[in-house]
Structure 1
Amino acid sequence: MFLAFQSPGPIMLELGPIAIRWYGFLIACGVVLGVTLAQWLAQKRGVDPDLVGDLVIWIIIGAIPGARIYYVAFEWENYAQRPAEILAIWHGGIAIHGAILGGLTAALLFTTWKKVSFWPLIDLIAPGLILGQAIGRWGNFFNSEAFGRPTDLPWKLFIPRPSRPPEWVNFEYFHPTFLYESLWNLGVFALLIGLFFWGLQRPGRLKVGTLIFTYFIAYSLGRFWIEGLRTDSLMFGPLRIAQIISLVQIGLGSLGLWWLYVWGRSLPDVPSQDRG
């Protein structure tokens, strides 16, 4: 009972008419830590950290609208009735799969423009990305959203009545799926960092592309089962969109690792202009 969670509310700090929300603050923290980590890993691999910093700016520019457009597209019936809310991203309502799609598209455009290799740079981004996701998930806690079905487990989450689904309005406690995913993501982060440093100690053994393909598989395995607990999934008919995308990412990641290690293929190494 003593482990039950209850959100203190979405507002972190109010300064007159200005309200600083936990959701935005945590996303900002995740971005800053992710960028710092990616640049540090770049130095370890002999890649120009400024190049990685520039790449991250492009990824953010692509990820934020991608995450919102993706979410609004699958919730269009609701947003069509209140179009003023479409841009109110601070109220919640972004989708990580939309952010990934938008960010990868922006990264591809950046690397094409800069004429540098796409895969080694994306590998460097992967650990920071999953770390940022682990931090950002706590924004759902403060917004009392993205929770699971009712439960009586000791780590249950109290959800205020206005935020409960109509069919479970008389239930008070729900699965804290934000916590499950945050902890899972931290585990994926540890895996990616472990692989990165294992590769540094064994030159040539860890192929370029391994980290991003592993990210796709490991993150998606957790997201698939956690999504099955949630009450607010984006749907395509009777199917949960996030579970469909998770299966696609698991398949793509598995094919990528098979291509690298079973078929024995290689992706381009670090950008030649950044070699020491």
Structure 2
Amino acid sequence: MDLAYIPSPSTGVINLGPIPLRGYAFCIIIGVFVAVWLGNKRWIARGGTAGTVADIAVWAVPFGLVGGRLYHVITDYQLYFSEGENWVDAFKIWEGGLGIWGAIALGAVGAWIGCRRRGIPLPAYADAIAPGIALAQAIGRWGNWFNQELYGKPTDLPWALKITAGANREAGLYHPTFLYESLWCVGVALLVIWADRRFKLGHGRAFALYVAAYCAGRGWIEYMRVDEAHHILGLRLNVWTAIVVFVLAVAYIVISAKVRPGREEIVEPRSEKSDKADEDGKDGKDGKAETGDTAGDEAADEKKDADADADADGDKADAAPAEGAPSKDGADNGAGAGGR
């Protein structure tokens, strides 16, 4: 009797009235939000503006989902296009089946489009979101737990995963490879964050480190899985993919460090519209100050002229005799006329 094991959910769907909430899709959505949240924080720390990561993710995420599904369907085509299978199931992404290799490849195309529209270098953006992608994978792997899929070989370890009988699976206790990969991805995220702070990685090297570290773990985890897969020279296809991508990622780190050492100083150039707005604001402020100074000077001049005119009128009034007051000559003439 097995006293310790990890139980599997009895169902991967929770129905809220007419709305089904699927555990697999829920994990993918949470992973995307975590990746965007952490990527945004890292982007701002690198000198970018808030919201840029989310704007580019609008392009990257849909492309990534399509790429992940395409990779899965192409490499496991027998599940959908062989005799007795329904090809329509290839579109049922909620039932599981996303290849990380295709998701990263086509997601990078979407990110490139978004970066190009914003005038942002793709390597800098990739460095910012690399740890977030690893955490998104860690969360997304729990979707496999809901679907009771992608487990490993039989085991009697205390953390064995209990699988119930179902389509294309036998009941028993197996290695929880979904858990192994989830924990590995958390470690990859922490490694990239530490290395980026310690060595100031730039020009895509933080992203390449994430890729290399993930592939190193995916290789041995993939080797433990027992689900159906294509084999080349005795190794599963995904093991070979992990080896090839690992070598390419390490090569990129070495070559990039020699060709473009250091880190980008500017990751998000200011837009011409923002610069023009700042200049207009500055000119408006200066113009307002100049207008105020001119108006003040004119008012002072007018006041000075008015004071001068007032002084002149006062002097003139003092010099002229008051109306009706006789002058000296007038008094003398009046006296002479009366004696005649």
TM more than 0.5? yes
**Counterpart of 2:7?**
6
Which position in structure 2 is the counterpart of 1:156?
160
User: Residues of 2 paired with 1:161 and 1:196: CA distance?
Assistant: 45
Deviations 1:87-107 (A, max 9, x none): 111111111111111111211
> Counterparts of 1:163 and 1:155 in 2: how far apart (Å)?
24
Structure 2 CA distance for partners of 1:50 and 1:225, relative to 1, 3 Å: same
Q: Which amino acid aligns with 1:253?
A: A
User: For 1:86, what is the secondary structure of its paired residue?
Assistant: helix
For residue 19 of structure 1, give the secondary structure of its aligned residue in structure 2.
strand
SS of the equivalent of 1:158 reads: strand
Larger CA Rg, structure 1 vs 2: 2
C-alpha separation between the residues in 2 aligned to 1:274 and 1:151?
Answer: 57
Number of aligned residues? 265
TM-superposed deviation, 1:260: 3.0
Shift of 1:212: 0.6
Corresponding residue number in structure 2 for 1:58: 59
Quote the residue 1:256 is aligned against: 252
Q: Say which of 142, 153, 157 aligns to 1:138.
A: 142
State the match for 2:297 in structure 1.
Answer: none
Which of residues 260, 268, 280 in structure 2 aligns to 1:265?
Answer: 260
Q: Judging changes above 3 Å, is the alpha-carbon distance between structure 1 residues 220 and 154 closer, same or farther for their aligned structure 2 residues? A: same
Structure 2: gaps of 5 or more residues: 272-340
2:174 aligned residue = 174
Q: 1:189 to 1:10 in 2, by over 3 A?
A: farther
Distance 1:163 1:4, change over 3 A: farther
5 Å-filtered alignment, 1:57-96, equals 57-80=58-81, 81-96=85-100
Q: Which residue matches 2:195?
A: 195
Retained in 1: the 8 A contact 2:131–2:193? yes
For residues 231 and 116 of structure 2, what CA distance do their matches in structure 1 show?
Answer: 34
2:118 to 114, 118, 130: 114
- Larger mean CA deviation between 145-154 and 70-79 belongs to 70-79
Q: For the Cα contact (< 8 Å) 1:150–1:175, is it kept in 2? A: yes
Distance across 2 between alignment mates of 1:100 and 1:242? 14
TM-score relative to the length of structure 1 = 0.89
Q: Tell me which of 197, 210, 223 is aligned to 1:228.
A: 223
The answer on 1:20 being equivalent to 2:21 is yes
- Range moving further from structure 2, 27-36 or 100-109: 100-109
On the 8 A contact 2:27/2:140 being kept in 1, the answer is yes
Q: Provide closer, same or farther for how the CA distance between residues 25 and 228 of structure 1 changes in structure 2, counting only shifts above 3 A.
A: same
Q: What is the match of residue 308 of structure 2?
A: none
Q: Does residue 1:240 correspond to 2:244, yes or no?
A: no
What's the TM-score, normalizing by structure 2?
0.73
In 1, Cα distance between the equivalents of 2:244 and 2:100? 14
Shift in Å, 1:195:
2.2
Residue 201 (structure 2) pairs with residue 206 (structure 1): yes
Question: 2 CA distance for matches of 1:44 and 1:2?
Answer: 48
Is the 8 Å Cα contact of residues 48 and 274 (structure 1) preserved in structure 2?
A: no
**Are the equivalent residues in 1 in contact too, given 2:150–2:178 (CA < 8 A)?**
yes
Quick one: structure 1 residues 208 and 133, their matched pair in 2 at CA, closer, same or farther if it must change by over 3 Å? Answer: same
CA distance in 2, matches of 1:88, 1:272: 38
CA distance, structure 2, for counterparts of residue 90 and residue 64 of structure 1: 11
Distance across 2 between alignment mates of 1:242 and 1:17: 38
Contact 2:124 2:202 (C-alpha < 8 Å) held by counterparts: no
Is the 2:155–2:175 contact (alpha carbons within 8 Å) kept by the matching residues of 1? yes
Which whole-Å deviations, capped at 9, do the CAs of 1:41-96 have from their partners, x for residues lacking one? Answer: 11111112322111111110110011111111112122122122111111111111
Q: Where does structure 1 lack aligned partners over 5 or more consecutive residues? A: 200-204
Larger RCO of the pair (alpha carbons < 8 Å, separation 6+): 1
SS of the aligned residue for 1:273 comes to coil
2:90 alignment partner AA: I
Shift of 1:160: 1.1
Structure 2 residue 220 is matched with structure 1 residue 219: no
Which amino acid is the alignment partner of residue 17 of structure 1? Answer: P
